[in-house]
Amino acid sequence: MELRLDNKVAIVTGAGQGIGATIAQTLAAAGAAVAVNDINPDRAEKTAVSIRETGGIAIGAAGDIANKFQCAHLIETTRAELGGLDILVNNASVEPEKPIMTLDEWDWQRTIDVNLKGTFLMSQLCGRVMAGIFNKNANPAKTNGKGGVIVNISATAGNTVPLKHKSAYCASQAGIVGFARECAREFAQYNIRVNTVIPGIIESTSTTPYSEIDENQTGVENRSRLGQSQDVANTVLFLCSHASSHITGSTLTLTGG
């Protein structure tokens, strides 16, 4: 079965590199027009160019998703330049590596702001567009949106396995899962599906040699390879497609085991 996203418009946050870039490229290859978000304009445009060079439709859309005004501008730009909004992939994250005893408040807050608050802001604002709610006091029974799909990228850190010296990151990732479940419940009435993907160790983002990875990491000992960013992107594509139209409020863990 071929998974297609023809005539769909997607925003992928944190898509200037790594998993996010692969997700954006995969959605575009399936027919979606993609707004490539990254806090770094050059990275965002680089991914967008890679999509256009292979015949896809994409724009670079820089912005800090921890800022609600920049989130709103990102969404407005996407709708104006690509003609709508059907899919949101919340992928952007930061992960400072400091022991709790020396972690400063700024690093903690910035991590929560980008990873968790950013997921909330983008889900709220994109959800309103997908639901056709342009006034927050609108009657839910009288909305005329066409619905949509939200996919959140979380991590095993904070959900199944702690990650050394990354307490803020772990807290934010656990928060994403809880938020997504409630988001799915509330957004169901608007025909908006919300799911979460939890990758294990992904080779494109890991700097740890395979032989040194903690055996407690779920699934590593059961497989001969690390996960690839394409493994994550393929799962996101499935969740964005009509093939998963009866799936919402779910959390898919990709650990190879």
CB-CB contact of 30 with 4 (8 Å) = yes
Higher-confidence position of 194 and 95 = 194
31 Rama class: left (phi>0) / alpha (psi -120 to 50) / beta? left
Find how far residue 100's CA is from the centre of its chain. Answer: 26
Mean pLDDT of the chain: 91
Among residues 28, 36, 37, 39, the alpha carbon closest in space to that of 6 is found at 28
Q: Which spans in 10-161 are helix H?
A: 18-29, 41-53, 68-82, 105-112, 118-131
Is there a catalytic annotation at residue 169?
yes
Domain ranges of the chain: 9-254
CB-CB contact of 65 with 11 (8 Å) = no
Q: Which of 32, 92, 125, 169 is catalytic?
A: 169
The rounded distance, in Å, linking the Cα atoms of 86 and 124 is 14
Q: Give residue-wise pLDDT tens across range 15-57.
A: 999 999 999 999 999 999 999 999 999 999 999 999 999 999 9
Q: Give residue-wise pLDDT tens across range 195-230.
A: 999 998 888 654 444 444 554 454 444 556 788 999
**Candidate CATH numbers 3.30.450.40, 3.50.50.60, 3.20.20.60, 3.40.50.720; the one for domain 9-254:** 3.40.50.720
Q: Give residue-wise pLDDT tens across range 89-104.
A: 999 999 999 999 999 9
DSSP state at residue 252: E
SS3 state of residue 37: strand
The rounded distance, in Å, linking the Cα atoms of 248 and 152 is 12
The single residue listed with the structure tokens 């690509």 is 82
The first and second tokens of residue 189, run together, are 């009435």
The single residue listed with the structure tokens 């304009």 is 41
pLDDT at residue 202 in the model: 86
The rounded distance, in Å, linking the Cα atoms of 30 and 24 is 10
